[in-house]
Structure 1
Amino acid sequence: MIFVTELSTTKRTKLLISIFVKTVVLLVFVYFFICALGFLTDAFQLLGGEANAKIFKENEVLSNPVAGLMIGILATALIQSSSTTISIVIALAGSKTIPVRETIPMIMGSNIGTTVTNTIVSLAQAGSREEFRKAFGGATIHDVFNWMCVIVLLPIEVISGYLFHLTKAIVDSLDISGSSKTKRDLLKTITKPFIRLFVQIDKTALKCKAIHVNGTSRTVLKRWCGKVWTSSNADPCFPKNITGDSRCKNLFALSDLNDEEAGLILTIAALLLIVLCLFVVVKLLNSLFKGTMASIIKRFINADFPGKFGWLTGYVAILIGAGMTMIIQSSSVFTSTLTPLVGVGIVSMERMFPLTIGSNIGTTVTGILAALAVSESQVHLTLQVALCHLFFNLSGTVLFYPIPFLRKIPIYLAKSLGNTTAQYRWFAIVYLVGMFFLLPAAFFALSQGGPVVFMAVGIPFLTVLVIVILVNILQVKAPQCLPKQLRTWNFLPNWLHSLEPYDRVISKILCMKCCRNQGHKDNFKI
């Protein structure tokens, strides 16, 4: 890349104008990308509102911590918003529909479910194997870290109740009152005007569907924006006497579509917009940040502090991630915006990890603000739920990040997933559906069989999984510690230790054998 100072005045002017125009276009498409994520969230709320309501009403089911965890994952994956899930859980706790202790597994599950957005966003870079490898790895590092936190901290919470007792002690020691209306949401302030041209979601309807046994007459698709007359008991979940004068002025509100139909159309439109925006953003990033400029930016973003202060770099990145997420009040948007940057190589996986951890912490502010915006009689319950979310994320950070060896585990696993999806791109879809929907649904169903059935199946499964992971690590790091037969998995049938047989079948079905053979010649290294 030629430095600007080495160019003639005319060429320098053209270059600066080109950079300015590209930057403006980049910002415009980033804005539409964020709006598209908002559309996708709204679409999943329209599609999953009724299903989530039925899930949240099953109080007996929620007493099982594993079931609560899986419900948190499924609900958040369906509505694409951990903030919405946490807000519903807070409302349920405040209304004493669910005890605070039973909400904790659901909160943990919402942390996992919200990462599905990153994975979906990474699929837009599947056209380039190298970019897809990095982007998918950058997206799944959030999944891996949250799963690790849950696997360790959920059993501790079930046995000791440390989150419940710690947060209860904190709330009891505070002099708090509700009705705090100081919530600020910079991101929605910027994107809401555009999104509201097309759709509005009735948050009250989501909460009403979860709280009321018989549901609500309100639809999740908000159609009425003026003052609504309510029934004689002043219950906002059952409005009546609505006039046409208060009809919302957005595209879907003016249509006759029901929630599911509007949600399906909006999902398709949002996904298309995400793909378009990411395509343009990635192209512009590659155009702007190439050659010497790319090297400078990469060194700046991924550099460590000099000398003895190098160990502080990751912790500063955690603070930056937390601060940025507090400002925009959406961990999904923050990490999803970073995902394509990881794909094009601007942000490294090692830098993505602390930023993701910080985002986990920053997103808890939304729940705390929501918890304070209730009546004084409920605030001690709602704030305790919000603090459980905060201290769960802080516990995971303290547990895994300060120790270098533990810090490397999620990065290693995420890179492995990235390498796998780069070689077998269909695996990304299998991972997405399996990790966020089929696996939680299977564990949820298993947990309904009672503790004996769950342990009879779950303990052997987890034991085998842990052994396989340990053997894999030893095969790479210290093969001499293993018996000769265990130094590779070649003694097993090929279909048990390789995706190649499945790839052949899928490739034949999709008529993609030529593309696969070409892809296998690539060398995938991080």
Structure 2
Amino acid sequence: MEKAIVLVVGILSTALVQSSSTTTSIIVGLVAGGLPVRIAVPMIMGSNIGTSITNGIVSLRFVGKKEEFKQAFAASTVLDLFNLLAMLIFFPLEILFHPLERLSTASADLFLGDSDLSMDQFDLVGAMTRPLRNLIRSATGFLPEPFNGIVQILIGIALVFLTVQLMGKLLKLLMVGRAKDILQTALGRGPITGILAGIFVTILVQSSSATTSLMIPLAGSGVLGLNVIYPFTLGANIGTTVTSLLAATSVTGERALPALEIAKVHLFFNLLGVLVIFGIPFLRLLSVIGTERLATAASENKLIAFVYLIGVFFVIPLLLLGLSLLF
């Protein structure tokens, strides 16, 4: 029950901020602060689901045109159904056998080794943020504990939100034209190329929400079909894990290993999800068929689209959270 609550919290928090990059970076910070990796794993899964709401919101711009809305809504929900299916497969397995945690622990140990190597040598983010971090600590130093720490956390979260928002605006100005050129030339060459293009573009913009949202207008206008968009969004799912890996490089000391472990859980969850679901024809088609039927129903009755978005990302998670607190 505890892990189900954490999963729901991951969905809600990411749906509210509309950025899995923000949520996973915060999760890495929580693990670095002492949260057990095993507890944080379901939150990572939930963040994958919650981030898809941005695509659905973008697709609503086509709501006045039936056929265009059908294509746009299908493109926006294919990642939803994929992530839900991945959660249904891996969440029970993780509760019973902890494969993601074990795999991430083994690979993190291999990366760090038994030598004197530590994450201090890979502290890329820390080197850039240390002056601001020290300034915040100095400014809040007059407050008694634990209030100084609480204020620092609130300032840190606010800065994360502000940074993601500003970065998104800047990257749209700098990258949107280039990203569209990449899409036009690369996506029609097969699913593997589409996945690789999704990874590459998302690493550039550091946001799967921004990357996949670029696809919705192209889908609505009929430029790209669902068979092309599907693998690209899966690549975006993998590419967004770079953010949490970068966040883990800023953690030093004894909590460096757990921080790297949870970042790798994010990577392995998305990577194995693509290998298992997209690699098995039945599972691959399940997401497509479900998406097409949902998009057809939503184009016939626009209320279904609104009910779906509000229900999947807010109502159902809140109900589950409420029931868990009651019982």
TM tier, smaller? 0.7 to 0.9
Give 1:231's aligned amino acid: G
- The residue number in structure 1 matching 2:118 is 177
Give 1:389's aligned residue: 266
Inter-CA distance 430–328: structure 2 relative to 1 (3 Å threshold): same
**140, 144, 157: which one pairs with 1:230?**
140
Alignment match, 1:326: 203
Match of 1:91 among 20, 23, 29: 29
In structure 2, the partner of 1:378 is: 255
Amino acid at match of 1:444: L
Q: Name the SS of the counterpart of 1:373 in structure 2.
A: coil
Structure 1 counterpart of 2:118, one-letter code: S
Please say if 1:445 is aligned against 2:318. no
User: Normalising by structure 1, what TM-score?
Assistant: 0.51
The structure that has the greater radius of gyration is: 1
Q: Distance in 2 between matches of 1:383 and 1:148?
A: 26
Does the CA-based 8 Å contact 1:314-1:354 persist in structure 2?
Answer: yes
Equivalent of 1:154 in 91, 110, 115: 91
Matched-pair contact (CA < 8 Å) for 2:218–2:224: yes
The offset of 1:332, in angstroms, is 0.1
User: Does residue 192 of structure 2 align to residue 315 of structure 1?
Assistant: yes
Q: CA deviation at 1:340?
A: 1.0
2: CA distance, partners of 1:344 / 1:418 = 15
Q: Helix, strand or coil: the match of 2:119?
A: coil
Corresponding position: 1:421 with 2:310: no
> For structure 2, which runs of at least 5 residues remain unmatched after alignment?
126-131, 153-157, 177-182
Q: Cα 1:356–1:238, aligned 2, differ >3 Å: closer, same or farther?
A: closer
The residue type paired with residue 438 of structure 1 is: V
> Contact conserved, 2:194 with 2:228, CA < 8 A, in 1?
yes
Counterparts of 1:443 and 1:393, CA distance in 2 = 24
**1:118 counterpart (55, 59, 81):** 55
Q: Rate the CA distance shift 1:226–1:303 in 2: closer, same or farther, 3 A.
A: closer
82, 106, 110: which one aligns with 1:145: 82
What amino acid sits opposite 2:227 in the alignment?
Answer: E
440-449 or 100-109, which deviates more: 440-449
Match of 2:14 in 1: 76
> Offset at 1:315?
1.4
In the alignment, structure 1 residue 135 sits paired with structure 2 residue 72 = yes
Structure number with higher relative contact order (C-alpha < 8 Å, ≥ 6 residues apart): 2
The answer to whether the 8 A contact 2:124-2:249 is kept is no
Q: Which has the higher helix share?
A: 2
- Distance in structure 2 (CA, Å) of the matches to 1:422 and 1:229: 54
Number of residue equivalences: 289
C-alpha contact 1:177 1:372 (8 A) present in aligned 2:
no
- In the TM superposition, 1:223-372 aligns within 5 A as 229-232=139-142, 235=148, 237-238=150-151, 303-304=188-189, 313-372=190-249
Q: Distance in 2 between matches of 1:159 and 1:377?
A: 27
Shift of the 238–108 alpha-carbon distance from structure 1 to 2, 3 Å rule, reads closer
Q: Counterpart of 1:430?
A: 307
Is it true that 1:107 corresponds to 2:44 in the alignment?
A: yes
Q: Structure 2: how far apart are the matches of 1:338 and 1:128?
A: 17
Cα distance in 2 between the residues matched to 1:301 and 1:375: 39
Match of 2:288 in 1: 411
**For 1:414, what is the secondary structure of its paired residue?**
helix
| Paired residue secondary structure (2:214) | helix
Q: Is the 8 A contact 1:138 1:342 kept in 2?
A: yes
Distance 1:81 1:228 in 2: 30
Q: In structure 2, what is the Cα distance between the partners aligned to 1:393 and 1:363? A: 9
Alpha-carbon distance in structure 2 between the residues aligned to 1:142 and 1:152: 15
After superposition, what is the alpha-carbon deviation per residue over 1:183-235, rounded to whole angstroms, capped at 9, x for unaligned? 5xxxxxxxxxxxxxxxxxxx98xxxxxxxxxxxxxxxxxxxx99962324795
In the alignment, the residues of structure 1 paired with residue 71 and residue 186 of structure 2 have an alpha-carbon distance, to the nearest angstrom, of 16
1:379 offset after TM fit, Å? 1.0
**Structure 1: any 5+ residue segments left out of the alignment?**
1-62, 184-202, 205-224, 240-258, 268-272, 282-296, 305-312, 451-526
Contact 1:331–1:362, Cα closer than 8 Å, also in 2:
yes
- Give how far 1:326 is off: 0.7
- 1: CA distance between counterparts of 2:151 and 2:3? 32
Query: Residue by residue, what CA displacement relative to the aligned partner does 1:263-321 show, whole Å, maximum 9, x if unpaired?
Result: 9xxx9xxxxx9xxx9xxx9xxxxxxxxxxxxxxx98x66644xxxxxxxx211211110
**Alpha-carbon separation, structure 2, partners of 1:449 and 1:150:** 24
Q: Deviations over 1:132-170 (max 9, x none)?
A: 000001000010000000011100000001111111112
Q: Is the 8 A contact 2:186 2:194 kept in 1?
A: no
8 Å CA contact 2:187–2:193 kept in 1: the answer is no
> Are the structure 2 counterparts of residues 343 and 301 from structure 1 closer, same or farther at C-alpha, using a change threshold of 3 Å?
farther
Q: What fraction of aligned residue pairs are identical, expressed as a percent?
A: 37
The CA distance in 2 between the partners of 1:361 and 1:438, in whole Å, is: 27
Q: 1:409 to 1:381 in 2, by over 3 A?
A: same
Superposition pairs of residues 17-28 of structure 1, within 5 angstroms:
none
Contact 1:302 / 1:348 at 8 angstroms: preserved in 2?
A: no
**SS of aligned partner of 2:319:** helix
Alpha-carbon shift at residue 128 of structure 1 (Å): 0.9
Greater alpha carbon shift after TM alignment, 170-179 vs 376-385? 170-179
Q: Aligned partners of 2:322 and 2:230: how far apart in 1?
A: 32
Quote the Cα distance in structure 1 between the aligned partners of 2:271 and 2:82. 13
Q: CA deviation at 1:89?
A: 1.1
Partners of 2:187 and 2:239 in 1: how far apart? 21
